[in-house]
Amino acid sequence: MELKRKCENEIRKWYEESSKALLIKGARQVGKTYLIRRVLRELGCDVFEVNLIETRGAVEVLRQAEDVDALILGLSTLSRQVLKKGKTVIFIDEIQKYKDMVTKIKFFVDEGSFRYVLSGSLLGIELTNLESAPVGYLKILEMFPLDFEEFLQITNINEDTIGSLRQSFLRREPVMDIVNTKILEMFTRYLMVGGMPEAVSRFAETKNINDVMEIHRNISALYKLDFTQYEAEDRRLLLTNAYELISSELLKQNRRYIISDLRKGLHFDRIEGTFLWLIKSGVSLPVFNITEPRIPLRINEKHSLFKLYFADVGMLTSEYGMQTKSKLLNGDSKLNAGGIYENAIAQELCAKGFSLCYYNSNRLGELDFVIEYDGNALPIEVKSGKDYTVHSAINNCLKNPEYEIKEAFVFANCNISRNKNITYLPAYMIMFLEKNNIELTLEDIAF
């Protein structure tokens, strides 16, 4: 099934309005290469594609090319395809194999004969130590797994229904019960399948969860292969173990990642690089502790205390196995599903560009997430059970005048309702929580 992605419009906008090169980053298997090919084809572009992993000699061609003429000459040795000045779009895939191309691209863009698209995985790792950042010559887009709204395209839920749901969210008005129940069922399927394009396409075709789990296992194996290819031998096992521990940590009540669970006696300052690798490679999503739920949140962050989620909730439930997916589908109230629901919420918020934090106080309690929303701190609680109206931490923080919190959201298996400045929302309505779109710069890639 050909899946439509929201960032297609951004690629088209770049092609029609910008003279910059385009860099698309994201974790493996989120569909970067496929989407670039399809959009450029639909735009009628003449595309010269080179893959720096698969094409022998391609990296050396880029390394030696000091100007456009040398680039054309070198690329012509790799393919019989003719590059046409003023027409051809040069698409360089797996750019992490020659990271200096990101800085070198400035000179090719300046010359103006061709358009350039760069794509790759692990860019957060490979581009950390860039000497110069050609921000004025490079537009950067980040791709994630399909969000829930994108997932709905494989169902019979149409755009009119989604538009009506969006209006209910904006007005804080209940949804018709039959519709709400149906979309909540679709959200449960999303928890089982996730948003990896291959898994979503296979599920749309076969409805077979075993097929989906096999795809997730293959993707996980690719991630672990990256650990061995891109890291020193003494860090490979630690990276693998740290990644595999995420699913176990999310079964705990507070979800916090405990370093000593990885290895007794370990301290964060000794293995900070391991967690930066998992985060910057895009395979996990961080939620950092804050000392106070007040803006700006960033100045209150404590990076040594954090929660980690999988980049894709379907891969998380596949880690837990078929029994967990079956209990999700059947609505088993005994299932410890809190971490699963939180993972889905974290995934949606990250895809929309929110920086995620959580707050924990012995006196006030714990807030699952805190984000900056409409200029204020917004507490978010995620509930998988029926007791979604029990949230002492939200109550306590709302009462504290120093925090200046105007409202709070609780996402659960419910319909929309309000109690003063607390809004209860069905979990799927996380898809309507938006922030202003801000173009990424290279600062978003590297520390």
Report the CATH number at residue 70: 3.40.50.300
pLDDT bucket at 439, cuts 50 / 70 / 90 = very low
Going along 62-205, which residue ranges are E strands?
88-93, 115-120, 138-142
Question: Quick check: 326 pLDDT over 90?
Answer: yes
| Shared-domain flag, residues 80 and 176 | no
pLDDT tens digits for 199-226? 999 999 999 999 999 999 999 999 998 8
pLDDT at 174: 98
Judged against a pLDDT cut of 70, whether residue 447 lies above it is answered with: no
Q: Does any domain span residue 159? A: yes
- pLDDT at residue 60 is higher than 90: yes
Residue 447 lies inside a defined structural domain of this protein: no
**Phi (first) and psi of residue 407, to 5 degrees:** -155, 170
Is the pLDDT at 130 greater than 70? The verdict is no
- Mean of all residue pLDDT scores within the chain: 92
**Residue 163 sits in the same domain as residue 307:** yes
Claim to verify: residue 157 and residue 117 sit in the same structural domain: no
Tell whether 1 is covered by a domain. Answer: no
Q: Based on the domain organization, do 112 and 190 belong to the same domain?
A: no
The answer on 425 and 306 residing in a single domain is yes
The last residue of a domain, from among 143, 171, 196 = 143
In a shared domain, residues 211 and 341: yes
Q: Which of 143, 175, 198 is the last residue of a domain?
A: 143
Same domain, 265 and 379: yes
DSSP assigned state of 113: S
Q: Which among 143, 177, 208 is the end of a domain?
A: 143
Instruction: Judge if 232 and 258 occupy the same domain.
Output: yes
3-state DSSP helix/strand/coil % of the chain, to nearest 5:
50, 20, 35
Q: Is the pLDDT of residue 284 over 90?
A: yes
- Token pair listed for 362: 């012995």
Q: Does position 437 have pLDDT exceeding 60, yes or no? A: no
298 and 197 in a common domain: yes
Domain total for the chain?
2
- Give the residue numbers spanning the domain of 192: 148-432
- pLDDT digit string (tens) for 140-168? 999 999 999 999 999 999 999 999 999 99
Say yes or no to pLDDT of 230 above 70: no
Output the pLDDT for position 103. 87
pLDDT at 84 over 70: yes
Output the pLDDT for position 265.
83
Output the pLDDT for position 125: 63
Across 184-191, average pLDDT:
98
Is 89 part of any domain?
A: yes
Rounded average pLDDT over 56-83? 95
Beta bridge partners of 268: none
In a domain, 377, yes or no: yes
Quickly state the pLDDT bin for 301 (edges 50, 70, 90): very high
The answer on 170 and 97 residing in a single domain is no
**Is 351 inside a domain boundary?**
yes
76 in Cβ contact with 61 (< 8 Å): no
How is residue 244 written in tokens?
Answer: 């595999």
Residues 209, 133 within the same domain: no
pLDDT of residue 446: 43
Q: Is the pLDDT of residue 231 over 80?
A: no
Question: Is 2 part of a structural domain of the chain?
Answer: no
Give, in order, the Cα–Cα distances in Å from 77 to each of 55, 56, 95, 124. Answer: 11, 11, 19, 31
Residue 437 lies in a domain: no
Evaluate if residue 306 carries a pLDDT over 70: yes
Identify the band that residue 6 occupies on the pLDDT scale cut at 50, 70 and 90.
very high
Q: How confident is the model at residue 37 (pLDDT cuts 50, 70, 90)?
A: very high
